[in-house]
Amino acid sequence: MYSSTTNIRALLGDFHIEGMMLRYSSFVPRLYNYCKSLGFEAGKIMPSRAFCSDESQGYPIILIAKHFGTFPFNHGRVGGIVATSRHRPHAAHGKDMVIIQASHVGYDPATRTFGTYRRMQTEKQEFGTCCGKLGEVLDWYSNEYQFAQENIFLHRYEGDYLIRIDNQLLRENREEGLFLNLERVVERRENGELTPLRSFSTSKAYPVSCEFRRLLGDDVWPLNGEIAIGKHLLPEMFRFKRNIDEDPEDQQPLERNLLNPMAWIVTSKAPLLTAAQVNTQAEFDRTFRTIVKEHGYQGKKVVYIAGLHIDISPQPGQLFPLTKFVPWAAYIQDSDGSHQTLEQHELMNALLAHPDQNPDMIDLEDAIRIMGKAEEIKVRL
């Protein structure tokens, strides 16, 4: 999905968050009413959710059950990956089908930062990484990026603008790690080679390319001595290689979804937010193609919607997070096989065109009360 620098920048820029957020208590009834407008039959809709296994995702599940009248089928793997192998059993559980996929990220309103969530069941209700799986995946790349930030230096020598690079970062025969796009960073000699101007015991210094100098600006280079490149190591200037082992528990493509745009993720102001956004985009592109091909969904009405969950930690007196949903895209299929894709603004407008009140909503507490008072049925072997 993400191949070139231009594509990555464009796709990330097209995912809007500001002005695109819905409270979950508003999103789910609007989605239900939108499905009804497409001809979905009340009481015959089988919702499914592809969420992370995090406890913070429980509140959205409760609301889905409340508005659709049944607990949703589980289509999700850790990190918000869609288990596409579960399409056929899902299709057998209802007349009309709804799938909601969402990656998630925590948000702390006190510090206005993304990536953390208060774990209410811990001893001291500590904040933890959210999404934890995304954070686990990002750790290795963040460490590689930090090493490069601290071991690439900018300096001047006899009027030349130079970049001094640690030898480890110059070894192209490594199987994995951070690799510089040297053709964009270093000036080529007349013979076309990337030849160092100076060699040191553990590094080499090269004259920089015009493109690199233009990107950074001349003011970044010190007049005397040298400085670590730090935050000036921009995503256009490097890439990652990684040997990704299949997760024996989940066998999910989470890290593969993130690999190509990882330079943009680790350099962003909120890496976990960007990672969740990227995963949502990649999962929609991957999953809707499998829905189109799934025989179990043929002849059925299907709505597949992908977006982002923003988990705001419970405040005093609250049990659950104040979850916000940011829609990204939707695939709409009619029973005759006709279908369409709604892009982000089209999807948001479609949701807002329907009320956030649902006359078919069930009372979960009343349903549980009835079950508790029902005459016992003995199970006999």
* Same domain (yes/no): 198, 214: yes
* Same domain (yes/no): 90, 181: no
The reply to whether 302 falls in a domain is yes
Which residue range(s) make up the domain with 221?
Answer: 141-241
- Running DSSP on this structure, what letter comes out for residue 208? B
- Cα 111 from Cα 308, distance rounded (Å): 20
The reply to whether 380 falls in a domain is no
Supply 232's token pair.
């000036």
The reply to whether 276 falls in a domain is yes
Q: What is the model's pLDDT at position 2?
A: 54
* Same domain (yes/no): 293, 346: yes
The reply to whether 247 falls in a domain is no
The reply to whether 313 falls in a domain is yes
Supply 285's token pair.
């592109």
φ and ψ of 55, to 5 deg: -65, -20
Burial bucket for residue 56 (CB in 10 Å: 0-12, 13-18, 19+): buried
Q: What is the model's pLDDT at position 264?
A: 96
The reply to whether 378 falls in a domain is no
Domain total of the chain: 2
Q: What is the model's pLDDT at position 190?
A: 65
The reply to whether 256 falls in a domain is no
Which regions of 119-223 does DSSP assign to beta strands (E)? Answer: 127-129, 152-157, 160-166, 177-180, 198-199, 203-207
* Same domain (yes/no): 13, 129: yes
**Domain finish residue from 241, 262, 281:** 241
Block means of pLDDT (10 residues each) for the chain, length 381 residues? Answer: 65 89 97 98 97 93 96 94 96 97 94 90 86 94 98 88 95 95 86 81 93 90 90 95 72 84 96 97 96 96 98 84 96 97 98 97 90 89 91
Supply 20's token pair.
């695109």
